[in-house]
């Protein structure tokens, strides 16, 4: 038995979670992992068929799973989501911001429209949604998870727009944590290297590289770490976690 097996963890059963980007990849894995813990779920995504497929798997272990199809680049969709959630659920214990988008390009010639789109999905959407449900999180008190990227810590060439949005997301999480820790709310940022997902496959195609998902971080790996952090006793807060594929050169 390892020392990790002896660490106390809190039960998540009976809690309620809202997960964005839940129709695929990391969001899907986290949603299914939370469902396995007996968590009630509100799943958010743009693809209704994919979202319902995830919900079907989650309903085997979750007491209740509801889906909300919405485009988080649209303020109206975010506000409708928040209103519907507040009218439907009595509590919010876990908020997971997993939705996101990426567009590659050099500072020299990357379209500004791409920067605006990435800002809306990667920064503005989590800001607005967090602001809308924060009173409910305070009653818990709840926990907030921001799925970030290692380029949110250290930018590199040809990814300035995405990196800028992820640096901004880190700032949002850091400020939020400083504001709400006194209310008992925990805030976690998880900085991920290349993770097997449809979005990452698109990145590889844009880079002209062969995509080998088995060599990357797996969404289930990320979900396991996130759920463990959420389950820690309230005497501790994990503020940041960095993960990357073992084969760093890939």
Backbone torsion region of residue 241, taken as left when φ is above 0, otherwise alpha when ψ lies between -120 and 50, otherwise beta: beta
Q: Which residues are catalytic?
A: 162
What whole-number distance in Å separates Cα of residue 19 and Cα of residue 31? Answer: 7
153 phi and psi angles, rounded to 5 deg: -110, -35
65 phi and psi angles, rounded to 5 deg: -135, 120
Tokens at residue 184, please?
Answer: 């008992």
What whole-number distance in Å separates Cα of residue 34 and Cα of residue 114? Answer: 33
Local structure of residue 215 (DSSP, 8 states) = G
């Amino acid at each position: 038995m390892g020392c990790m097996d002896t660490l106390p963890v809190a039960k998540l059963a009976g809690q309620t979670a809202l997960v964005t980007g839940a129709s695929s990849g990391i969001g899907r894995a986290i949603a299914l992992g939370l469902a396995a813990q007996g968590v009630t779920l509100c799943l958010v995504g743009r693809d209704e068929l994919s979202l319902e497929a995830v919900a079907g798997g989650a309903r085997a272990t979750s007491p209740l799973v509801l889906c909300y199809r919405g485009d988080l680049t649209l303020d109206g969709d975010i506000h409708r989501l928040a209103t519907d959630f507040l009218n439907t659920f009595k509590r919010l214990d876990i908020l997971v911001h997993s939705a996101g988008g990426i567009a590659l390009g050099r500072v020299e010639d990357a379209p500004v429209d791409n920067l605006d789109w990435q800002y809306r999905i990667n920064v503005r959407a989590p800001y607005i949604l967090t602001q809308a449900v924060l009173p409910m999180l305070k009653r818990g008190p709840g926990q907030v998870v921001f799925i970030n990227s290692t380029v949110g810590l250290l930018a590199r060439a040809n990814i300035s727009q995405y990196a800028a949005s992820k640096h901004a997301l880190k700032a949002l999480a850091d400020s939020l944590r400083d504001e709400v820790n006194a209310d008992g709310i925990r805030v976690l940022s998880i900085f991920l290297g290349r993770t097997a997902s449809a979005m990452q496959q698109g990145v590889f195609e844009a880079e002209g590289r062969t995509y080998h998902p088995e060599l990357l971080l797996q969404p289930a790996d990320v979900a396991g770490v996130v759920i463990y952090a959420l389950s820690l006793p309230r005497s501790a807060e994990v503020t940041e976690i960095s993960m990357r594929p073992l084969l760093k050169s890939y």
